Amino acid sequence: SIVENPLGLRVLFIRDTMVREMYEVMSEEWIGIVSRGVTRAVAREVSEFTGLKALDVTNERFWKGSFSLMLYLEDGSRVRLGDLGDGVQLYIAFRILSEYLNPDIVLWDDVESRMNPATLVRVAEGLAELVERGKQVVVTTHSIEAARLLASVAGDAGIVKLQLRDGVLTAQQLSLDDVEKMLSLGVDVRV
C-alpha cells in the first residue's frame, strides 16, 4: 500500500500477504494506470520470464458483476492474475504500482517470500531500476541467496545485518564482498 507521511514522501510498502490490497488499489486507479501505458509494459516483462505471450493486463468483468485483473494473451485468451503463481502476482502488482504511483521510497518485507528464482531476478532488476531513478529501496530478507542476488543486481547496494541481543538492536554494514568472504570461510552471515 502507498503511505503518505509528514515529510510528504510517498512510500510503497510491499509484503506477500498484501496482494489483495494491492489489486484493490489497482482497480480503483485503473483508468489512470491504463492511460499511462503501464499495463502493456508489465505484460511484456511477464512474458519474458513466464513463457506466457502476454500483450496487456486488463481489468474485466469476471463473476457476478465483479471485476478481475487478467493477462490478455496474443491468442486472445485471458489468464486471471489470481490463477498465476503468488510470486508472479506480486511482481505484477509491484511493477504496476511502482510505475503508476512513482513512490519516493519502496519498502519490501521478505522479498523472497513466494518467489521462484526467475521471478526474484526480475524483482531485483525492477528494484535496481528504481534505484537508478533516484528512489530509495529497502528490502528485508532472511535468505542469504536473496540478499546476494539483490546486492549483485543493484551495483552499489549495501547489506545491513540487524541483530537483536539482550534487547539491544545492532546494525552491521556489509558489502557483497564481505558476505562472499564470510561464506567462503563457512561463516553463516545471519548469526
What does the pLDDT look like over 35-92, one tens digit per residue? 999 999 999 999 998 889 999 999 888 777 678 889 999 999 999 988 998 999 999 9
d(CA 73, CA 69): 13
- How many CB atoms lie under 10 A from the CB of residue 132? 10
User: pLDDT value at position 169?
Assistant: 94
- Residue 188 pLDDT level (bands cut at 50, 70, 90): confident
Query: Given a cut of 60, is residue 1 above it in pLDDT?
Result: no
Residues 6+ apart with CB under 8 A from 80: 62, 68, 69, 70
d(CA 16, CA 149): 19
pLDDT tens per residue across span 105-155? 999 999 999 999 999 999 999 999 999 999 999 999 999 899 999 988 877
User: pLDDT value at position 2?
Assistant: 60
CA angle 188, 190, 191 (to 5 degrees): 75
Average pLDDT over residues 8-37: 90
Average pLDDT over residues 24-40: 91
- Residue 32 pLDDT level (bands cut at 50, 70, 90): very high
